[in-house]
A and B are shown apart, each in its own frame.
Chain A
């Protein structure tokens, strides 16, 4: 609301003022701020390899990486492996987080469900997802399923804990309102408890998504013949540091994209809140 108001205010001014707004020094400074750190790091990296501080046989220069990155897009290797990885990531994330939210909400809402389910789930959660890899490979082989399940374990654990916490920390005074209005349990859950848990659930989705990438790439490095994790590891084995780093760059860019997607979702679904973000 605030943003559209400021935009309207802006558009009501003269074209010269609008132009000034977009090319103002403070805006230019904002852009410089965002690029300062990555540019510096890239320059240091490039120089270190060229001067010979870092061995060029083991580490490629940024310019070489960019070159390889684009040639791998053209020969489709990067796109192909990215699509495979994205498919696994999104299937695992959706599967794990929907189950995590469902059971977390259930356990947060019902004390009976908590007594039946929670001790078991809370005992399984401390087992690091990576420790599941051998078992998953035994059960599912190195096909798609083992990676999808691995990713979903991480998302499940994160979302389960946070959804249960979100439901339990809902404001008692609002629940009292639902009680006075004679709302049944389901209506209270749907209209009071679940919306109250949304900010926590969506914030934990970001964490779950980051964890999903970690697990996906780990799984692909250990047990796969496709995907970005496999590409990175395979490039290392063939002594292609440029392709290896290009794979890492692809993971970084796609990871940023999925994170942006969830932040967008978060802003959409919790627009009723006014927080520090909106100032």
Chain B
């Protein structure tokens, strides 16, 4: 069900006081169907703004974004979105939170069955009736992942999804995400500032430069999966990216 994504943004300007500020410059890249790509860049470079544009949350830009053949004009169920925080409805149980994402007209026995399968897929069996405040940060983010996947989106968008988690949980969540996305075969675009995370998960890494945020490098990662975070090849590419994206010399990082 996944579709290719074609991003072609010329620029995006916002008014700050009486001055027009260019926050996004030229951003052109494409994702083939089923590809996992990461946008990597310094904090404040506009990578979240770019992702919000693709999600349809912020349409004030010059350019065009195509998902499959159709241009993106607003939010839609063909894209699943995960924010940095889980953003679960605190008054809905885990199961209700996921079911809430399903449009009313599509709710039936098989869709509820699908919810149960997803709860199993993200490893939350037995937590169907739990309240969000009873979950840990990692568990809550798993629910958000299930919610984003429930409508079988063509494109999965992740905005620093593991940024708020501790490093142990983060690593296990990355492994889980890889497994789930491979299983579902969804085209995925993730925003992150974590080089190792991007390298562990992505087929393609898009590096953004600052002021205005624009695509500076597109690196394809030809490491076989499952990837080892400690292999020499992994570390070599990591160094290469650090030098490109952050102008960090080896040894200083």
Contacts and interface: CB of A to CB of B under 8 A. Distances in A.
Contacts of B100: 181, 191
A143 to B, nearest CB: 42
A4 to B, nearest CB: 14
Tell me whether chain A's interface is mostly helix, strand or loop, or mixed: helix
Contacts of A181: 75, 77, 100-101
Nearest to B102: A181
A191 B103 CA distance: 13
Given A182-B103, A191-B89, A191-B100, A173 B75 contact: no
8 contacts: A173-B83, A174-B89, A177-B83, A181-B75, A181-B77, A191-B100, A270-B91, A274-B133
A191 B91 CA distance: 9
B78 to A, nearest CB: 10
Interface string A147-186: 0000000000000000000000000011011011110000
Contacts of B134: 1
A185 to B, nearest CB: 14
Interface string B70-109: 0000011101010101010111100000001101100000
Interface residues of A, number: 20
B85 A272 contact: no
A173 B87 contact: yes
Given A179-B57, A180-B57, A187-B104, A272 B83 contact: no
A182 B75 contact: yes
Nearest to B131: A272
B104 A174 contact: no
Given A176-B87, A272-B131, 11 more contacts: A174-B89, A177-B89, A180-B57, A180-B75, A180-B79, A181-B75, A181-B77, A182-B76, A182-B103, A187-B104, A273-B133
Given A176-B57, A179-B57, A181-B101, A195 B89 contact: yes
A105 B99 CA distance: 25
Contact of B75 (A1, A179, A273, A274): A179
A181 B99 CA distance: 11
A191 B88 CA distance: 12
Interface string A186-225: 0100011001101000000000000000000000000000
A173 B85 contact: yes
B91 A195 contact: yes
Contact of B90 (A1, A176, A182, A272): A272
Nearest to A181: B101
Interface residues of B, number: 23
A274 B56 CA distance: 34
Interface of A: 1, 173-174, 176-177, 179-182, 187, 191-192, 195-196, 198, 270-274
A102 B83 CA distance: 33
Contacts, number: 48
B55 interface: yes
Contacts of A198: 91
A197 to B, nearest CB: 11
Contact of A272 (B76, B101, B103, B133): B133
Contacts of A177: 83, 87, 89
Contacts of A271: 131
B77 to A, nearest CB: 6
Contact of A174 (B75, B87, B101, B103): B87
Contacts of B133: 272-274
Given A180-B75, A181-B101, A192 B55 contact: no
Interface in B91-131: 91-92, 100-101, 103-104, 131
The interface centre, meaning the residue of B85, B87, B91 with most chain A CB atoms within 10 A of its CB, is: B91
Nearest to A192: B89
A174 B104 CA distance: 19
Nearest to A187: B104
Contacts of B77: 181-182
Nearest to B148: A180
Nearest to B75: A180
Nearest to A271: B131
Contacts of B91: 195-196, 198, 270, 272
Contacts of A176: 57, 83, 87
Contacts of A187: 104
Contacts of A182: 75-77, 103
A180 B81 contact: yes
Interface in B15-65: 55-57
A195 B77 CA distance: 23
Contact of A180 (B55, B90, B92, B132): B55
